[in-house]
Structure 1
């Protein structure tokens, strides 16, 4: 199967450097707890924190709302964070916001833990699918309503390793 490149590796790398600079500027040298949403955000988190100058502590939270290419309409927490975020600056990092369900539910869950601040970084946003509006503080790219893979995004666990974002035409 040929996979059409949608966003190149070079564009992703350049945008991540810009996002890291923006995060560093916003937090002014204070420690940032980066919470990546598994599994899709792991590559984005790794590349983002390597570009940041702020002191970083990172952890991952696992949440799932997809089966194949469709949202199930509910989320399941598959792994919780271990770090206590009370009184800390948190950046929640997601691979893609489409319906907004997962990120809105995670936002509520994390706010209950009383962080000093919580901001959202997402590599991709698909506004045409948004049913649960969320405030995105750090956005990589706004995309059309296409099913995308690569750079951590998958189709049933495959294609995460691609260094670019491609369009899945299964």
Structure 2
């Protein structure tokens, strides 16, 4: 089993890049069927979703727009329980279908706040596509329309996810060695 060291923590391989690519391909296939006539605005939640969003967008077969927001709810290895908006929404959302592209849903706080904000700005519907979902960690009732992979409640890094800013560049996903 492959292991890596980031700062003071050791991580072991948990999801290889090939499994990630397959999950994204399956999600894109569903999105292509479901949303082809909706003219959606895809919204990538930075920083963690940048790799997932880029790979997913390459597989979308209909015209659509993409935008980016930067939200923060983590410090170190834990959620603060609060969502800080660092870069907000700039596009006209009234009457639009908006697809939130999220790297991971664990507590559900970020997704819940983002969906509420988008609906308040006039989006006709908000659809959530997440690469990873931790059902055992979720504390909010959030509707997830597209889920790439369900995973255990482990601390993970790689493929856009980080530990204090490190590990986002890794093509695989790694779990903290306890």
Can you list the C-alpha shifts for 1:108-156, whole angstroms capped at 9, x where unaligned?
Answer: 0011111122100001111111111211100011000100100000001
TM-score (norm 2): 0.91
Structure 2, unmatched stretches of 5+, are none
Quote the offset at 1:29 in angstroms. 3.6
Match of 1:138 in 2: 146
Query: Aligned-pair distance for 1:28?
Result: 2.9
Do residues 122 (structure 1) and 130 (structure 2) align?
yes
Q: Matched residue of 1:3: which SS?
A: strand
2:113 equivalent to 1:105: yes
1:65-76 to structure 2, matched below 5 A, reads: 65-76=73-84
Gapped runs of 5+ residues in structure 1? Answer: none
Helix, strand or coil at the partner of 1:11: helix
Which residue number in structure 1 is paired with residue 99 of structure 2?
A: 91
* C-alpha distance in 2 between matches for 1:52 and 1:64: 27
Q: CA deviation at 1:169?
A: 3.1
For residues 4 and 157 of structure 1, the distance between their equivalents in structure 2, rounded to whole angstroms, comes to 18
The superposition leaves residues 52-82 of structure 1 with CA deviations (integer Å, 9 ceiling, x where unpaired) of 1021211111111111111111111000122
Q: Report the Cα offset of residue 91 of structure 1.
A: 0.5
Q: What is residue 166 of structure 1 aligned with on the other side?
A: 174
User: How many residue pairs align between the two structures?
Assistant: 170
Could you state the TM-score of these two structures normalised by the residue count of structure 1?
0.95
Q: C-alpha root-mean-square deviation of aligned residues, in Å?
A: 1.3
Q: Which residue of 2 aligns with 1:148?
A: 156
- CA distance in structure 2 between the partners assigned to 1:169 and 1:58 by the alignment: 36
- In 2: Cα distance, 1:42 partner to 1:160 partner: 9
